[in-house]
Amino acid sequence: MANIIDGKAVSAQVKEDIRIETEKLKAQGIEIGLAVVIVGNDPASQVYVRNKEKACEAVGFNSYKYALPEETTEQELLALVDKLNNDDKVDGILVQLPLPKHLDDKMIINNIRPDKDVDAFHPVNVGKIMIGDYSFLPCTPAGVMELIKSTGTQIEGKECVVIGRSNIVGKPQAMLLLHQSGTVTICHSKTKDLKAVASRADILVAAVGRAKMITADYVKQGAVVIDVGMNRDENGKLCGDVDFESVKDKAGYITPVPGGVGPMTIAMLMKNTLTAGKDHHGVK
């Protein structure tokens, strides 16, 4: 049986460190604020936004929630982003994705001030991640890196395979592993013989979005297996991209779903918001 990586415990530690730092800033009269914008009624997004607000409360940030109706126009949303860009109480701005179909995610993100873009989705921040010179972490990939670190596994020289090439997870994940001198392969839907490539990995990150797709025959004996997936199985139960039952006896370390990567993403968002706040207040 693999060691199970406890994302809740690792994220609790990250948040506790942030809480202590935030308390010290408060004593100097500095408060940190995160604005969270949600448009429409997507139930999953509503849960994510609630969890982000709860995390703000836990670490001592002010959170400002803007819940806009489904029929919000591009102009209205841009006007709100502009207002938040210019609000000194707001250190970070997060627009929950996906937006309703009539709104252009990319265009909205491009209008968030890069120094308030705590998701690190703005092209300026994406570019900084690429060249390894960044202050904002890509939240989910950075959370994955913390989980790998918690296992004591060295990344340098290791075979790292990332399954998935999204802009939010797969691509920045590959960059972070590369910055730590892993030998990185990115796989996707057109990859030939995915099993052969995946089972070379000492560190395997699955971010495909297909329930329980990664079975034991994709996994090298003793590998570190990180599951970024968040799917529903045939019974409507939350599950990852990795078939946990099949992989748990082959992997060296494995993350559960829920309780693995999910809590880390939010902890990293808090870290970015603290970074933004310190930057805005000139704190080193």
To the nearest whole angstrom, how small is the minimum distance from the Cβ of residue 136 to ligand GUN? 12
Q: Which of 228, 250, 251 is nearest to 239 (CA)?
A: 228
Element (H, E) at 205: strand 203-206
The C-alpha atoms of residue 185 and residue 42 are separated, in whole angstroms, by 34
Catalytic annotation present for 17: no
Determine the 3-state secondary structure of 124 from DSSP: helix
| Residue 265: DSSP 8-state | H
Using rule CB under 6 A, residue 161 touches ligand GUN: no
Of the candidate residues 11, 63, 96, 255, the single one contacting ligand GUN (CB under 6 A): 96
119 is catalytic: yes
Residues β-bridged to residue 227 = 206
For residue 95, what is the enclosing H or E element?
strand 92-95
Q: Binding ligand GUN by CB under 6 A: which of 119, 146, 241, 243?
A: 119
216 binds ligand GUN (CB under 6 A): no
Please pick, from the candidates 68, 97, 124, 130, the single residue that binds ligand GUN as defined by CB under 6 A. Answer: 97
Stretch of residues binding ligand GUN (CB under 6 A), selected from 4-12, 56-64, 90-98, 236-244: 90-98
Smallest gap from Cβ 97 to ligand GUN, in A, equals 4
- Cα–Cα distance between 241 and 206 in angstroms, integer? 6
**Contact map string, positions 258 to 277, toward ligand GUN, x by CB under 6 A:** -------x------------
Which of 96, 171, 212, 241 is catalytic? The answer is 96
